[in-house]
Amino acid sequence: MQAKAFNFIPLKVSSPVIKQLPPVHAISIPDRARGDISIAKVPSQEVSSSTQDEKITAYWDYQFLFVSQRTETVNPVSLRIVEGSIPLDFPLGTYYLTGPGLFKDDHGSTVHPLDGHGYLRAFTINGAKNEVTFMARYIKTKAQVEEHDHKTGEWRFTHRGPFSVLKNGKKIGNTKVQKNVANTCVLSWGERLFCLWEGGAPYEIESSSLDTLGKFDLMIDSVDNGSSTPSTKECYEKKGGVDLLDLAASILKPILYGVFKMPPKRLLSHYKIDAPRKRLLMMSCNAEDMLLPRSTFTFYEYDSSFKILQQQEFIIPEHLMIHDWAFTDSHYILFGNRIKLDILGSMTAVCGFTPMITALSVNPSKSTSPIYLLPRFPEHEGGRDWKVPIEAPSQMWVLHVGNAFEEKDGNGNKQIQIQASGCSYKWFNFQKLFGYDWQSGRLDPSMMNVGKGENKMLPQLIQVSIDMDVSGNCEKCCVNPVNDEWDKATDFPVINQAFGGSNNTYVYAATSLGGRRELPNFPFDTVVKFDTVKNSTQTWSVGTRRFIGEPIFVSKGSHEDDGYLLVVEYAVSEQRCYLVILDAKKIGETNAVVARLEVPKSLTFPLGFHGFWAAADSKM
């Protein structure tokens, strides 16, 4: 196998910004409703030229990106247009954005952003009326109802969450770890709306009021309708008639399911939509496999009525963690992020002294990254042994997938292309995502930022090319940047959803141009448009002391880039949010902004994770 490696540069983390701040700034994450912002000594709007002031400003700008918002907007609020206007040809629909809304309770405990209660934001856009209305509600998960007193408005965290440790609450013996916060992804499918989390069933939301309807167990509800018989594909061998992993699993299951209340199958928050087939694709993994050197993955395909059309299970003899994945016409594609069990960390985590995630760490034992090509349709499995991964020639931790597709030549040879964001194993750290320090309960932006010349440790947009012969044997695997000259930290790749699973030219993502010395890589401040055919990039940036989240593409025509991009601008210098509409064709030009709308300051919300555009006439 010939291979071209995409090299990541070794990391040299600078000393934490937090430790360099004066004591007055060393407080926990602010909370709008409790007035922490007003009493904090925040630097002025102008960035000082002194290094110390610049560090302080950067620190506070980062904190304001994760300020709790306790206020819910039950009735739609019309947003003020501060620039441009809504185009008449803008499709009628709603942009849903989910993410954490609360990071601090009323009793001294803070939580990691990944453990923050889900806060659903909805922007309904009407071009004919030149109007955008805004609503925001908390998802009433079981944990949210328990931790929030709706009469007094008081919050008291009782669940640890996988990434957090409570400062003021039950620590030792606290088995409330499985905190389904429904804060990661949002999905509109079959005229129903869902908010998803990485470790539990989705919560269904009433789309017009954003009321929480309750859990919707896709796996149970779908299997029970009798439309499919699950098929199992095993790839591990039993030793001496007894499988030691099965034995270990039988010991773990009563503990995980009974004591820690984890569901037997952990549904991933990232889903895929096969637009030509009008199918929703989802994936789950077994809870006990998080602690075992094997991985069990089950794939489900649904029609618009949530009838299961296909279900397959694959057992892989590696300890893997999957957050996002890909599909083509023939395959489910898994980038195998290798992990391992930390014995000491697992002991302290179970006892409640450290977060549960400390039981796991990355496993850099191999210099390559496994890519599993799992047959999507058994009847088209072909001659290749799916149990053998393709080893990509780079040690990369894949975060998010933009797209994947496959093409055949006249001789039956196949090429698979995958566009994704990946970072180095040396940078990725379970315990320091978003710079959260569980011991102090503070956010340290230095974790997410490294010095010049070290950018390739951070997430970058990559393109994986796999060449296979007519029998399915891999002849070559290459990992390259999507653009040869682009080395900026980049994540949240998105495309025109109609081109999912097929050959696409354009990829949009969030990035940072590196203009700030103390925050050169994250948070992101720029939308970048990649042209994979011309090998070119165009960018649009929000400006000084302003950040963005994930861009979302809204199609209005048949051409791939004929549409608009939606992105939220977090103006931390003003403590305000804006919805920005960009012309996808004009990224890189001075007139890229079509409209900019202001969210009322009292409703400013923290950084969101993933969004979804639901057109009003969508029948999927």
Known binding-site positions for Fe cation: 323, 400, 610
317 vs 374: CA distance, rounded Å:
14
Cα torsion angle, 157, 342, 325, 539, sign:
positive
511 vs 208: CA distance, rounded Å:
33
Q: Record the tokens describing residue 98, joined without a space.
A: 């989910």
199 vs 290: CA distance, rounded Å:
11
- With beta carbons less than 8 A apart as the criterion, state whether 405 and 504 touch: yes
Close Cβ partners of 47 (under 8 Å, ≥ 6 residues apart): 53, 54, 57, 544, 545
Close Cβ partners of 239 (under 8 Å, ≥ 6 residues apart): none
- With beta carbons less than 8 A apart as the criterion, state whether 199 and 215 touch: no
576 vs 563: CA distance, rounded Å:
26
606 vs 66: CA distance, rounded Å:
5
Q: Are strands 231-233 and 308-316 parallel, antiparallel or unpaired?
A: parallel
Q: Are strands 474-481 and 2-4 parallel, antiparallel or unpaired?
A: parallel
Q: Binding site: what residues are annotated?
A: 323, 400, 610
524 vs 490: CA distance, rounded Å:
8
**DSSP per residue, 267-313:** E-S--EEETTTTEEEEEEEEGGGGGSS-EEEEEEEE-TT--EEEEEE
Q: Which long-range contacts (CB under 8 A, 24 or more apart) does 543-546 make?
A: 544/47, 544/515, 544/573, 545/45, 545/47, 545/57, 545/61, 545/571, 545/572, 545/573, 546/570, 546/571, 546/572, 546/573
Q: Record the tokens describing residue 195, joined without a space.
A: 């908010």
CB atoms near residue 206 (< 10 Å): 12
Cα torsion angle, 79, 83, 87, 90, sign:
negative
For residue 405, the surrounding DSSP H or E stretch is strand 396-408
- With beta carbons less than 8 A apart as the criterion, state whether 446 and 454 touch: no
Among 108, 87, 211, which residue's Cα sits nearest to residue 554?
A: 87
